[in-house]
Amino acid sequence: MAITLEEVTSFLQQVPEELPGSFDDRDTLLYNVAVGMGRDPMDASELPYVCESIGNKVLPTAATVLARARRPEGSKPQPSLMAKMNFAMMLHGEQRLVIHQPLPAAAQTLVSNGVKGVYDKGEGKGALVVNETNVKLADGTPLFTSSSTLFFRADGGFGGSADGAPVPHVLPERAPDAVCEMPGRVDQAMVYALCGDRNPLHRDPEFARKAGFDKPILHGLCSYGIACHAVVKTMLDYDQTRVAGFDVRFSSPVFPGETQIVEMWQDDNVISFRVKIKERDVISINNGKCTLR
């Protein structure tokens, strides 16, 4: 069933509910490992990310897996606009992140999720849905704001406006200031799935074939974390506290085991970046923007 303008307007007026949440150092350590930290167990720069007796550093993009909330027993979730949309025709278009303070290794949190905007690209052209998640520490202090742009290819033409949709960051036209190769692991999707995304598209070969892929593809948000790993490693001397924002546009699927080449440019407090797949010479992440404190 197609969505209507009235339904969209109603959902945009809905006030997101705030629910309690939490995460611990098992969650943050696992995430760091899942995006490639600690492959060299003698690398002193990466050990603080993977060994709690040495340090408790957390990559900023771990925010994408640390926003789980607990619904009180007996309470019902708010109605969801996306339950009325065609998920079989959905693509994850963009991911954006604002870090209000460096992520701790563990915390009690308050989590709210809501639809920030719905943009109509027209009949046959699809619709964009921007979801926003705000996470605070239990005392109400803002921790991070994460947003995702989902492209529903079959849900355009409901009568809404295309104005106000997120605009991608423009990359510099000069040669990159730095390049970092991030080798992949063939089992990387298996590890990343333990962070919370159990979509069989990333592990089940038969499911992937039905979705149009020769084999399972890597989670887009795993590639997102690998890009952050590369930026923190190459440009920030592993100081993750300098990252204030991290935005990307997804351009092409990645297969587990492929090498992701991260090209970076720095201008004042902005590091622009994109990711190419070495084995296939395609851009998998484009219009990347890392904002520094």
> Which amino acid is it at 205?
P
Q: Using an 8 Å Cβ cutoff, are 128 and 44 in contact?
A: no
Half-sphere exposure (Cβ direction) of 65: Cα atoms closer than 13 Å: 31
> Which amino acid is it at 230?
A
Q: Using an 8 Å Cβ cutoff, are 109 and 137 in contact?
A: yes
- Residue 240 CA from chain centroid, whole number: 16
Q: Which residues contact 53 (CB under 8 A, 6 or more apart)?
A: none
Q: Using an 8 Å Cβ cutoff, are 57 and 240 in contact?
A: yes
Q: Is 203 helix (H, G, I), strand (E, B) or coil?
A: coil
Count other C-beta atoms under 10 Å from residue 179's C-beta. Answer: 14
What's the Rg (C-alpha) of the chain? 19
Question: Of all helices (H) and strands (E), which one includes residue 227?
Answer: helix 220-235
- Cα–Cα nearest to 36, from 273, 258, 249: 258
> Which amino acid is it at 62?
A
**What are the phi and psi torsion angles at 291 (to 5°)?**
-95, 135
Q: Is 239 helix (H, G, I), strand (E, B) or coil?
A: coil
Q: Which residues are catalytic?
A: 197, 202
Q: Which residues contact 42 (CB under 8 A, 6 or more apart)?
A: none
Q: What is the DSSP letter of 293?
A: -
The first and second tokens of residue 168, run together, are: 């991608």
Q: Which residues partner with 152 through β-bridges?
A: 90, 127
